[in-house]
Amino acid sequence: MTPHIELKDVRKSFGPKQVLRGLSIAVNKGRSLVVIGGSGTGKSVMLKCILGIIRPDSGEINVGGESVVGLRGTERDQLLLRFGMLFQGSALFDSLSVWENVAFGLTHGRGVARSAARDVAIDKLAQVGLTSDVGALYPAELSGGMQKRVALARAIAADPEIIFFDEPTTGLDPIMADVINNLIVDCVKRLGATTISITHDMASARKIADDIAMIHRGEIIWQGEANQVNRSGNAYVDQFIHGRAEGPIQMDVLRP
């Protein structure tokens, strides 16, 4: 079976800094992959390469068995219509009301009429536990947790076949983080979507993952089923999941 999303030996440098050093990974249809790893290891760049926001220097990226590197114009728009993405800072459009944000992919990307899109938006808001009167508010009037839920509603609004979650629980209190985790699991199950999430929150990773992969210095150094992560036998993974300062991963911190 061809993987739904496949990256082969993807490399990307910014000036002298090599961010991705031959990253390879594959996700099968309907699976939820969580990529864990420290800050600055290339997690976000990996997602942006798949979406074509950043163009890799070399390597292959296939979605549904077809190469997507360097797509332009209509072909690129067609590809992006299959994706939804939840951004770390929510990235809601602050000039638009909540329901217009949720409906944006429908009204702008797909040409759905505003009134029809509004009904879909209200329905999606209900799925993330927000009432229809929230739809009339503006993003700046919402708390961080509510913004995250609106962003989740926006990501799933067009029923995408692939969804990316960029640090979905960062900056939320543990309870709201768990609410978001539950919503992610629910929404993904309902849609049957393939997902890639990146996070450094292990509680979140354990909850939403079918598979876990660890990225370190721009490469995947371990990959396995979520329940195997405690028995990985990999010193890097052990250090990360237990959050120890001592271990093979050295932070760039000046020691006293």
Question: Is residue 81 part of the contact set for another protein (CB under 8 A)?
Answer: yes
The single residue among 51, 69, 137, 185 that binds another protein, judged by CB under 8 A, is 51
Q: Dump the DSSP string for 99-115.
A: HHHHHHIIIIIS---HH
Question: Is residue 88 part of the contact set for another protein (CB under 8 A)?
Answer: yes
Look up residue 8 and give its two tokens: 């082969």
Round to whole Å and give the CA distance between 35 and 91: 21
State which residue, 167 or 211, has the beta carbon closest to another protein.
167
In the complex, least distance from residue 6 CB atom to another protein, rounded to whole angstroms? 20
Question: Is residue 17 part of the contact set for another protein (CB under 8 A)?
Answer: no
Q: How many CA atoms lie within 13 A of 20 on its CB side?
A: 26
State which residue, 96 or 137, has the beta carbon closest to another protein.
96
3-state secondary structure of 175: helix
Question: Is residue 105 part of the contact set for another protein (CB under 8 A)?
Answer: yes
Question: Is residue 91 part of the contact set for another protein (CB under 8 A)?
Answer: yes
Q: How far is CA 243 from CA 122, 185, 203, 220, 246, in A?
A: 40, 25, 12, 19, 9
Question: Is residue 104 part of the contact set for another protein (CB under 8 A)?
Answer: yes
Q: Which residues bind another protein (CB under 8 A)?
A: 48, 51-53, 77, 80-81, 83-85, 87-89, 91-94, 104-105, 108-110, 154, 164
